[in-house]
Structure 1
Amino acid sequence: MASGLKVKDWCQQNNISKDAYYYWLRKLREAACDSVDTNFVRVPDQCIPSSFHSSFSTELTITMGSITINVNSSTPQCLIESTIRAVTNAE
């Protein structure tokens, strides 16, 4: 990328096969993804009642950075808490 050449041209100039180039590029990307520390918060299924989605009307909007969370009086507290934890961990 830094050379400004297309991959094909760079590989020819450096006597490297395109297959080898893409193999090692994939390995580097996998290593980079594996090195990222991820903490996911699972929202328990019992927090979301089946009737929750169909009759939702926003009563309160919570903004955390670029994330907006809309809740109302029927939003289960555990869902609000799990969502806020997930957003906090994502920052």
Structure 2
Amino acid sequence: MDHISMMKSKIKFDYWKKTIEDCQASEKTVVAYCKENNVNEKTYYYWLRKIREQLCKDMNYPATAEENKCEFAQIKLHASYQQANPTIKLHVGKVVVEISDGMSQETISYVLNGIRNIC
């Protein structure tokens, strides 16, 4: 895009950004604002979408280690469970849950709810 086209695009973007800000500040409905200011409603919503997309691109989202942090808690089992062969093996993504006969409903619920929260 040449310099003149870029300037035209910037001027048009700034015009619509101001128009949208004026509409929102007017506390009128979009329909009423557009009628009163001779603005095409479809064009208004087109530019609203374009401006929102640009604003989202311009925002800096700091990458934090917390976003994708995954923690696992070790669940201590009674000695009788440690030697048991699993009756059920459940694969959820990279997580494997083995449920053995005699495992309490409370423990099973706790583990499955934990998996649901991270998946």
Question: TM-score when scaled to structure 1?
Answer: 0.44
Higher-RCO chain (CA-CA 8 Å, sequence separation at least 6): 1
Query: What is the TM-score normalised by the length of structure 2?
Result: 0.36
Higher Cα radius of gyration: 2
